[in-house]
Amino acid sequence: MQPLASMATRRGLLLVLVVALCEVSALGRTPLWDGNIMMPTGEGHKGEEGTRWAILIAGSAGYWNYRHQVQAESIIADVCHAYQILKRGGLKDENIIVFMHDDIAYHPENPYPGTIINKPDGPDVYQGVPKDYTGSDVTVSNLYAAILGDKSAIEGGTGKVVDSGPNDHIFIYYSDHGGPGVLGMPNPPNLYADDFVGILKKKAAAGTFKELVIYLEACESGSIFEGLLPEGLNIYVTTASNAVESSWGTYCPGMYPSPPSEYGTCLGDLYSVAWMEDTEKENLKKETLEDQYLIVKSRTSNHNTYRSGSHVMQYGDLKIDVEELERYLGFDPANENVTKPGLSELSPVNSDIVTHVPQREADLVHLKHKFYNAKKGSLREANAASELAKTILHRRHLDDSVRLIGELLFAGEDALQKLGAVRPAGSVVVDDWACLKNMVRIFEASCGPLTQYGMKHMRAFANICNAGINSSRMSLASLEVCKISTSVDLGIWSPVTSGFSA
């Protein structure tokens, strides 16, 4: 008989040999993974590679008055530009879902009907953009259904949804006006943070994506996720601003660089332009989400000086930011030879040159430009003066109404401080979201539409809720301040007709 030690040695060698033979056999059938992800779009989610999906949302519209159209132009231009980038990156239209009101390209104020540009002397970005959900179909309910892949819940539009599977990567880009805890939509209701994050949690629980990335352009956009979006959902977010500040417009009249003289509007939003222009020149097989975050953060903050601009933020699963942008935005072969990006490429700008404007001031920039460049004594000058006066009066009405309501509710003592109180970083803006939505409805019933500018007061309504003030007291205060009818916009707001009259 052989010694036990010798038998154990032979058995060990035999086991090693069997394992080696299995590995050789496997290598003969399937090559080793080289670390690169291969995701051909349009092949569905049946294979292991997965598909890239994208949802692009332009929340603004021309609404009932041109003064909002100027703000909508840059937002829709942002979304159209984003579509062109994804298309060049290899995503197919069947995997890109576009929400936009689509009232800008042929608006009477557009100097080149049927075209939209996103930068001075830039190309037309409107051509070829899918019109999946336009006009009255751009709603929060349709957006949520599209994210969840719920075709049965869609009303209108093409019916296109994110029909994703567990290996897929999803990119969501949302450009709009916002306020603490809220994002605007061209059709009511607006999007509230608690509902949106709830939809993201539901999508994650369904297991219908591998990773999801969100880029969000709006004022106070950080408040949509602050204290609400947990880790562990495989969702990564960057926002144009933190929870308490405005985002910024760029390529505006009278600034550097300015749009062509025939354009009287801001052409883009700073954060959006920053990530898109970076994407267009980089090799997305090498640039990571973190690389782009740092580059966009620097540009959006005026190269970390914050002389103008905002704080770009990150939320969710930050570990995802080590991944290449190709997984979400595709890859443009024209940039194959571009080296890995670096912040050293960014050069400081002259601090004496005005380059950006807070997003909420973009309409004033447009109207002032329109007034000062009109022929003296002309109808155009008179119309611009009227629009400017309406806008200023409308803003004053909203600001004064909220202030006076606060003074009534808080007995005048430190009312402004209580209305504007900011919770510690990482805290949610309001404890009771149902209360917040109700306070907005009560205000609008007595004082007129909050509108995009009025979204800045969402924190005031949140703090009214956080103070435990009930709807009855809010109703009485709103009626007392705004009375039966309120003069706004050089017209009359009537809570009876719920509209404006000249």
Furthest-apart CA atoms within the chain: distance in Å: 117
Task: List the helix and strand counts (H, then E) for the chain.
Answer: 14, 15
Question: Is 374-501 CATH 1.10.1040.10?
Answer: no
Q: For residue 178, which of 262, 246, 95, 253 has the smallest C-alpha distance?
A: 246
- Tell me the catalytic residues: 177, 219
**What pairing do the DSSP bridges indicate for beta strands 235-239 and 211-217?**
parallel
Give CA angle at 323 (317, 325), nearest 5°: 110
pLDDT attached to residue 97? 98
**Cα(461)–Cα(434) distance, integer angstroms:** 12
Nearest-angstrom CA–CA distance, 73 and 106: 11
Other Cβ atoms less than 10 A from the Cβ of 288: the count is 19
Contact 251, 61 (CB under 8 A): no
Q: CA 263, CA 77: separation in Å to the nearest integer? A: 13
Residues 6+ apart with CB under 8 A from 57: 79, 99, 100, 138, 143, 172, 173, 174, 175, 176
Q: Give the pLDDT confidence score for residue 256 in this predicted structure.
A: 87
Q: From first to last of its 502 residues, what are the pLDDT tens digits of the chain?
A: 444 444 444 444 444 333 333 333 333 333 332 333 333 343 443 445 799 999 999 976 542 332 234 445 678 899 999 999 999 999 999 999 999 988 788 888 888 899 999 999 899 999 999 999 999 999 999 999 999 999 999 999 999 999 999 999 999 999 989 999 999 998 999 999 999 999 999 999 999 999 999 999 999 999 999 999 999 999 999 999 999 999 999 999 888 889 998 888 889 999 999 999 999 999 999 999 999 999 999 999 988 888 889 999 999 999 999 999 999 999 999 999 998 675 544 444 555 566 889 989 888 888 888 898 889 999 989 998 998 999 999 999 999 999 999 999 998 778 999 999 999 999 999 999 999 999 999 999 999 999 889 999 999 999 999 999 999 999 999 999 998 544 444 343 333 333 333 2
- The number of CA neighbours under 13 Å toward the Cβ of 303 is 10
* Selection from 306, 77, 328 nearest residue 213 by Cα: 328
Tell me how far CA of residue 362 lies from CA of 102, 187, 249, in angstroms.
20, 21, 7
Supply the DSSP symbol for 234: S
CATH topology of domain 52-345: Rossmann fold (3.40.50)
The whole-number pLDDT of residue 286 equals: 95
Can you give the pLDDT at residue 496?
Answer: 34
Q: Give the pLDDT score at 254.
A: 86
pLDDT at residue number 109: 81
Domain spans in the chain, listed from the N-terminal domain onward: 52-345, 374-501
DSSP of 260-308: PTT--S--EEHHHHHHHHHHHHS-TTT-BHHHHHHHHHHHHTTTTT-SS
Same fold, 52-345 and 374-501: no
Residue 379 has which token pair? 């109808």
Structure confidence at residue 501 (pLDDT): 33
* Predicted pLDDT at 7: 44
Prediction pTM value = 0.85
